[in-house]
Amino acid sequence: MLFQYSQPSTVIFGCGAISVLGEKIKELGCKKAMCVYDEGTEKAGIAAKALDSIRSAGVEVVGWSGVIPDPTVDVVNKGGDFAKANGVDCLVGVGGGSSLDTAKAISVLLTMPGKAEDYVLAHPIFVDTKTPVFLVPTTAGTGSEITKVAIISRPELNAKWSVFVNTNYAIVDPELTLTLPKSQTASTGLDALSHAMEAMTGINWNPHSDLVGEAAIKKIANNLVTAYNEPSNLEARTEMALAANFAGLAFNDPITHVGHSAADALSCRFHTAHGYNCAIALPPAMKLVAPAVPEKMRVIAAAMNIPLTGNETGEELGTLVADSIRKLMRSVEIKPLKAMGFAREDVLALAPDVVSNHLASYCPVKVTEEVARNLLAEMYDDYQ
């Protein structure tokens, strides 16, 4: 069997890392940067830190705060128009996954003709982008700073599709997560957990995804509740930032699978946060695949600090892991779908969307409409 694994960009990790952002931009010979972020990142003062670092290195910079949650192709097109009008030669995404993905997608428009919708497709393509991209996460969750994928909404099709691009640097500064609201600490941390677990249990797993995925799970199991309860605990924040980065590395090559298919369906139908959706979908997704990948599930269970006898079946391991995830979800106050006001029949009606999502094809269990419907039912019924 042959394996392939990669790391799309260089990572600079540590408290205060944002201070070297401008220096790294200058090293690549860039003359004018565009910082891409949302209004929340701007109000928190984090965008200013990025802009100051760039200016202090003698590089010209413009800021663009046009990012929205679940960014659409229209947002990317507007960002592309702004970038072209300002003559920028590099992009800096600052914020959560939405800002990082928007920056990555804008890089396509600085390389290729046309609009974002020409490249953001149901079955992602790789675009050999030429504009340098620097990514500065402010959450410990998406891992987008270290993946090649940009996930962008196609609201005209009620879908979330993707494109693969080149990136250059991930600047991961745990101090930037200290102001993250508790609800986002919870949902983004569980998003990272889903990345690690789905990467390890998908059909395209590799030794690298197993290594960093297991490490990410251990860090999340040991630090998420502390980061949630003690937002200023820099040690826990640092461990969570590293976990999210590891989880991004884990799924960069094997991609995620049916949990993310269900999460995307929820996002398009209910417009709930991606991390929340991934959290809700993760326990039944692990139960579904456990009999097909029992040894992987045993590693995951141990990483979650679940006591094991060594004689558990794949099905039993799946139940133990699912229960442990739900316990963690309750500890960080993740609300059930019912408590969020969503009707069971509306959730189950998403089964065709789960099946049609290309991520379902990476699941080690064939995802039929019946399988998808059962998974959605478990998402709704088994977490109350």
Hey, which residues does 34 pair with through a beta bridge? 62, 91
Q: Please report the pLDDT score of residue 36 as a whole number.
A: 98
Q: Are 246 and 216 in contact (CB under 8 A)?
A: yes
Residue labelled with tokens 């999460």: 263
Single out the residue in 177, 207, 228 at which a domain terminates.
Answer: 177
Is residue 197 located within the same domain as residue 248?
Answer: yes
Secondary structure, 3-state, the chain: CCCCCCCCCEEEECCCHHHHHHHHHHHCCCCEEEEECCHHHHHCCHHHHHHHHHHHCCCEEEEECCCCCCCEHHHHHHHHHHHHHHCCCEEEEEECHHHHHHHHHHHHHCCCCCCHHHCCECCCCECCCCCCEEEEECCCCCCHHHCCEEEEEEHHHCEEEEEECCCCEEEECHHHHCCCCHHHHHHHHHHHHHHHHHHHHCCCCCHHHHHHHHHHHHHHHHHHHHHHHCCCCHHHHHHHHHHHHHHHHHHHCCCCCHHHHHHHHHHHHHCCCHHHHHHHHHHHHHHHHHHHCHHHHHHHHHHCCCCCCCCCCHHHHHHHHHHHHHHHHHHCCCCCCCCCCCCHHHHHCCHHHHHHCHHHHHCCCCCCHHHHHHHHHHHHHCCC
Q: Are 269 and 350 in contact (CB under 8 A)?
A: yes
Residue labelled with tokens 């298919």: 261
Tokens standing for 76? 């990317």
Single out the residue in 134, 161, 177 at which a domain terminates.
Answer: 177
Single out the residue in 135, 155, 177 at which a domain terminates.
Answer: 177
165 located within any domain: yes
What's 153's domain CATH number?
Answer: 3.40.50.1970
Is residue 335 located within the same domain as residue 219?
Answer: yes
Is residue 273 located within the same domain as residue 371?
Answer: yes
Q: Residues, the chain, total?
A: 384
Q: Please report the pLDDT score of residue 134 as a whole number.
A: 98
Is residue 241 located within the same domain as residue 305?
Answer: yes
Is residue 152 located within the same domain as residue 204?
Answer: no
pTM for this one?
A: 0.96
Compute the distance between CA of residue 59 and CA of residue 82 in angstroms, rounded to an integer.
18
pLDDT digits (tens, 9 = 90+) for 83-130: 999 999 999 999 999 999 999 999 999 999 999 999 999 999 999 999
Q: Which domain holds residue 195?
A: 182-381
359 located within any domain: yes
Q: How many domains does the chain have?
A: 2
Is residue 71 located within the same domain as residue 194?
Answer: no
Is residue 120 located within the same domain as residue 55?
Answer: yes
Is residue 248 located within the same domain as residue 122?
Answer: no
Is residue 235 located within the same domain as residue 326?
Answer: yes
Residues of the chain with pLDDT under 50: none
